[in-house]
């Protein structure tokens, strides 16, 4: 045994000597360029989706279905942020580079687990109020000897990969507006491409390309038109005709906050465009229209930034059905013919296969139950809408499935070419879309035109139980050629981690229950499970160092589902945030420190004495401004403070100091004096006191049963 390991350790060195390569004991440095990112290297993970096609499939098979059970923790590193960790690490030449919550970057030596350097862009705490979905970051881009990160407050920053020193920084958004960046940049043709988010807050979406060496802007591509008459590009003039009213005053939305893919042979960059701003189309574009290019895949000539084609998945979007989800490219044989396709499982619940040379619809089928559309037009791919789903037109509430959380969110899929399967971290959710007849745009907070207070979860055990039961998740193995499911694993709840597939026949996923699992790709049989002590939402990567295969993943519960949905965020249970980088290999022997079980403290609020009208006013304000971070009906998903337990509830002055004056701004809780008066803020306190008393009574009733 000992001898065998000795031999295995020497082999890569012997190989190096034979090849006569230079570069010292760590081997020759990989050249991080368009060619290596397009093809991928076995030893590294060079780009967000591993390769430009974003398949997240590794050819490595040292760890495989035979030995996955021998996986163990090689080492771990605790992180200095306690919010959602959504990042895909990069692995280059035996080093790991990660981005964490609050857009921080860290570099580690894989063999030793040693921290090499860290970089903190010092995002101001008040940037958090512009972020719909936690202060997360999904990853870095690499090119040459540089790394690139988009910071939450809207900067694109170049870092020296060897030292972690900042090389250049550009502000890529109007920082007076509600833009954020959480997505990973991509680099093509020496240009760093970065998008942004903010479509819940009244912004206009775009992507920008910057020279990787200098940070000089090369081009910018807007996804929605400016005011009529102000659009010069032909594709925006065409889009103008699909909008009505004063849409440009509300921003329009269409932010590109996550997915991109690139085909070097076609030189086409594919971007996924987000939802409309505000959601409710009756406000955004009164009278309807397709509202191009919302909820579309758009192909852009990468060198020039010119429009090539688009495919709109949800015309006249009104449900927060973004098309920003993972875009994956593959070459498939369909009806006996080789096709260059783009595959997409957006929020709206349909799996699309599109010809990536021209945007032509090939096929589409729902991968979870949906009720907003009965299917897709087989020729055009246009959805056949259920007319009742248009709460913007009917003016009536609509319980939509999927809800704004989507049938699939940002969590990356993975592809196994040998099995011919795309794996989807899917979710089954619903949401009450209720038009808000009194809606007016505000400078801060959610601007959706939907009434979040009216649809808030009541303190009724039966309703809560039904909501918990119907909110769930699945790991779906989808055959994109046949457009059907081959296997499915039902998960305890939604918001499970992104995926990695390998030539070892393995599919890796961390999940919301706090486990990191290796499955057999062919049938979904679990082969290995690691209890991670916290919900995992990020996707894993794999790579080798000196010939030994590793698997790395960020752990740490958070993201939008941990913040806004209230009680259903607790569905899977593991809602503690323990933010860590976990690195595994065969025979790894490291162990995590023991944790205490999660014990929920009993509620002990002051008595509810405020008049019903004040509580109702507070509920309305809470629904619009507070619930997005502190949870529907003031029930926290375990990442942001649960206000029902707040010590400030019993102290009106402290409450005002925090909520009105912004005493906790550095932590991400800004003051709301711009949009809320002191009496509004007192009403919110009355509402939270009422909610805490209701839940205390429920808990007591349950205990005495």
Q: Three-state SS for 614?
A: helix
CB neighbours of residue 66 within 10 Å = 11
Give the span between the Cα atoms of 325 and 320, in whole angstroms: 12
Distance CA 218, CA 206 (A): 14
Q: Rounded to an integer, what distance in angstroms lies between the CA atom of residue 373 and that of residue 368? A: 12
Instruction: Report which of 251, 297, 290, 246 is spatially closest to residue 274, judged by C-alpha positions.
Output: 297
Kindly give the interhelix angle for 652-659 and 678-704, rounded to the nearest 10 degrees: 120
Nearer to Ca ion, 274 or 540 (CB): 274
Of the candidate spans 269-277, 306-314, 486-494, 666-674, the one that interacts with Ca ion by CB under 5 A turns out to be 269-277
Closest contact distance (angstroms) between CB of 409 and Ca ion is 10
Q: How far is the CB of 330 from Ca ion (least distance, A)?
A: 27
CA distances from 110 to 78, 592, 668 (A): 15, 18, 33
Between 136 and 692, whose beta carbon lies closer to Ca ion?
136
CB of 494 to Ca ion, least distance (A): 16
Q: Strand, helix or coil at 619?
A: helix
Q: Are 398 and 407 a contacting pair, CB within 8 Å?
A: no
Residues annotated as catalytic (active site), given as ranges: 320
- Minimum separation from the CB atom of position 274 to Ca ion (A): 6
Nearer to Ca ion, 93 or 320 (CB): 320
The rounded Cα 189 to chain-centroid distance in angstroms is: 26
How many positions of this chain bind Ca ion (CB under 5 A)?
2
Query: Alpha-carbon torsion 687, 689, 694, 699, what sign?
Result: positive
Contact call for residues 356 and 329 (beta carbons, < 8 A): yes
Considering only 101-109, 232-240, 273-281, 459-467, which stretch makes contact with Ca ion by CB under 5 A?
273-281
CB of 200 to Ca ion, least distance (A): 5
Query: Which residues are registered as beta bridge partners of 555?
Result: 580
What are the backbone angles phi and psi of residue 128, rounded to the nearest 5°? Answer: -60, -30
Shortest Å distance, C-beta 252 to Ca ion? 13
Least CB distance to Ca ion at residue 613 (A): 32
Least Å distance, CB 478 to Ca ion, is 24
3-state secondary structure string across 679-693: HHHHHHHHHHHHHHH
Name which of residues 520 to 539 contact Ca ion (CB under 5 A). none
Q: What is the distance between the terminal CA atoms of the chain, rounded to a whole angstrom?
A: 59
Rama region for 512: left / alpha / beta (φ>0; ψ in -120 to 50; rest) = alpha
Rg of the chain over all Cα atoms, to the nearest angstrom: 25
**Which lies closer to Ca ion via its Cβ, residue 313 or residue 320?**
320
Looking at the Cβ atoms of 275 and 542, the one nearer to Ca ion is: 275
CA–CA dist 605, 688 (Å, integer): 9
Task: Tell me whether residue 320 or residue 632 sits nearer to Ca ion (CB atom).
Answer: 320
Q: 281 vs 533, which CB is nearer to Ca ion? A: 281
Among 103, 182, 275, 295, binds Ca ion (CB under 5 A): 275
Q: Is 134 in the site for Ca ion (CB under 5 A)?
A: no
Window 317-376: residues binding Ca ion (CB under 5 A): 320
Token reading at 705: 């049963």
Shorter beta-carbon distance to Ca ion: residue 55 or 275: 275
Judged by the rule CB under 5 A, the positions of this chain that interact with Ca ion are 275, 320
């Amino acid at each position: 045994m000992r001898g065998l390991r000795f031999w295995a350790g020497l082999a890569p060195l012997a190989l190096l000597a034979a090849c006569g390569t230079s570069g010292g004991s760590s081997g020759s440095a990989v050249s991080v360029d368009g060619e290596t990112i397009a093809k991928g290297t076995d030893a590294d993970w060079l780009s967000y989706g591993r390769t430009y096609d974003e398949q997240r499939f590794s050819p490595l098979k040292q760890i495989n279905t035979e030995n996955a059970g021998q996986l163990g923790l090689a080492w771990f590193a605790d992180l200095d942020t306690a919010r959602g960790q959504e990042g895909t690490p990069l692995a280059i030449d035996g080093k790991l580079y990660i981005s964490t919550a609050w857009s921080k970057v860290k570099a580690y030596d894989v063999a030793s687990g040693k921290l090499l350097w860290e970089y903190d862009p010092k995002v101001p705490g008040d940037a958090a109020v512009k972020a719909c979905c936690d202060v997360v970051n999904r990853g870095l881009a690499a090119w040459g000897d540089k790394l690139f990160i988009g910071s939450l407050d809207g900067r694109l920053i170049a870092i020296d990969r060897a030292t972690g020193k900042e090389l250049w920084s550009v502000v890529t958004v109007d920082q007076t507006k509600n833009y954020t960046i959480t997505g990973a940049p991509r680099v093509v043709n020496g240009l760093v491409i970065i998008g942004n988010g903010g479509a819940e807050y009244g912004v206009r979406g775009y992507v920008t390309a910057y020279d990787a060496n200098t940070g000089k802007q090369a081009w910018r591509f807007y996804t929605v038109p400016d005011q009529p008459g102000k659009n010069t590009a032909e594709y925006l003039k065409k889009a103008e005709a699909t909008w009505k009213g004063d849409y440009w005053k509300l921003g329009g939305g269409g932010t590109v906050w996550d997915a991109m893919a690139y085909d070097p042979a076609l030189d086409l960059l594919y971007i996924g465009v987000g939802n409309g701003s505000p959601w409710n189309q009756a406000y955004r574009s009164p009278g309807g229209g397709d509202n191009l290019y919302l909820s579309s895949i758009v192909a852009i000539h990468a060198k020039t930034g010119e429009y090539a084609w688009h495919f709109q998945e949800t015309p006249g979007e009104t449900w927060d059905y973004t098309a920003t989800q993972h875009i994956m490219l593959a070459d498939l044989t369909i009806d006996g013919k080789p096709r260059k396709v783009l595959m997409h499982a957006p929020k709206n619940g349909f799996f699309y296969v599109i010809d990536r040379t021209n945007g032509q619809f090939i096929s589409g089928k729902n991968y979870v139950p949906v009720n907003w559309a009965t299917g897709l037009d087989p020729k055009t791919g246009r959805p056949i809408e259920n007319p009742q789903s248009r709460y913007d037109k009917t003016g009536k509430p609509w319980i939509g499935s999927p809800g704004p959380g989507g049938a699939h969110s940002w969590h990356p899929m993975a592809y196994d070419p040998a099995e011919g399967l795309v794996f989807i971290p899917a979710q089954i959710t619903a949401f009450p879309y209720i038009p808000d007849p009194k809606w007016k745009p505000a400078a801060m907070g959610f601007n959706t035109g939907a009434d979040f207070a009216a649809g808030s979860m009541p303190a009724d055990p039966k309703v809560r139980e039904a909501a918990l039961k119907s909110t769930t998740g699945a790991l779906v193995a989808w055959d994109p050629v046949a457009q059907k499911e081959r296997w499915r694993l039902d998960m305890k709840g939604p918001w499970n981690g992104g995926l990695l597939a390998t030539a070892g026949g393995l599919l890796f996923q961390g999940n919301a229950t706090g486990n990191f699992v290796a499955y057999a790709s062919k049938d979904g049989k679990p082969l290995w499970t690691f209890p991670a002590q916290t919900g995992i939402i990020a996707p894993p990567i794999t790579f080798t160092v000196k010939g030994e295969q590793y698997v790395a993943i960020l752990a740490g519960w958070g993201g939008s589902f941990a913040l806004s949905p209230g009680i259903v965020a607790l569905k899977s249970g593991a809602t503690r945030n323990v933010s860590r980088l976990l690195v595994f290999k065969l025979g790894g022997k490291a162990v995590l420190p023991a944790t205490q079980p999660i014990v929920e403290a009993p509620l002990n609020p002051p008595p509810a004495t405020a008049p019903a009208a004040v509580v109702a006013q507070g509920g309305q304000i809470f629904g619009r401004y507070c619930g997005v971070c502190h949870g529907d009906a003031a029930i926290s998903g375990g990442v942001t403070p649960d206000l029902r337990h707040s010590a400030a509830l019993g102290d009106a002055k402290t409450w005002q100091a925090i909520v009105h004056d912004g005493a906790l701004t550095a932590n991400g809780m800004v003051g709301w004096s711009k949009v809320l008066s002191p009496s509004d803020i007192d009403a919110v306190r009355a509402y939270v006191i009422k909610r805490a008393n209701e839940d205390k009574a429920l808990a007591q009733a349950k205990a005495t049963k």
